[in-house]
Amino acid sequence: MRQAAHLVQAVCDGANLTDTWEEMLHAHPDWPASTRGAVRDLAWGTLRDYGRADPVLRRLLHKPLPEPYQALLMVALHRLEQRPDQSHTIVDQAVDAVAVTAPGLRGVVNAVLRNVIRQAEQVARWREADPVACYRHPEWWIARVRASWPAQWTTVLAAGNQHPPMALRVNSRRARTEEVLEAFTAAGIDARTLDNGALLLARPRAVTELPGFAEGLFSVQDAGAQWAARWLGAQAGERVLDACAAPGGKAAHILELADVTLTALELDAQRARRIEENFQRLGVHGQIKVGDARYPAQWWDGRPFDRILVDVPCSASGVARRHPDIKWLRRREDIAHFAAQQAEILEALWPTLAPGGTMLYVTCSVFDEENRGQIARFCNRHADALRLPFDGRLEQQLLPSAEHDGFYYALLHKRR
The span from the CA of 315 to the CA of 330, in Å, is 7
User: What torsion do the CA atoms of 358, 363, 368, 369 make, to the nearest 10 degrees?
Assistant: -90
The span from the CA of 4 to the CA of 77, in Å, is 13
The CA R_g of the chain, rounded to the nearest whole Å, is 23
How far apart are the two ends of the chain, measured CA to CA in Å? 61
One of 12, 244, 364, 379 is an active-site residue; which one?
A: 364
Q: Are 161 and 133 in contact (CB under 8 A)?
A: no
The span from the CA of 179 to the CA of 172, in Å, is 11
The span from the CA of 250 to the CA of 408, in Å, is 15
Least Cα distance to 20 among 38, 35, 1, 5 occurs for 5
The span from the CA of 317 to the CA of 309, in Å, is 20
User: How many Cβ atoms from other residues are within 10 Å of residue 183's Cβ?
Assistant: 15
Residue 364 annotated in active site: yes
What are the backbone angles phi and psi of residue 23, rounded to the nearest 5°?
-65, -40
**Torsion sign, CA atoms 237, 254, 197, 405:** negative
Task: Enumerate the active-site residues.
Answer: 364
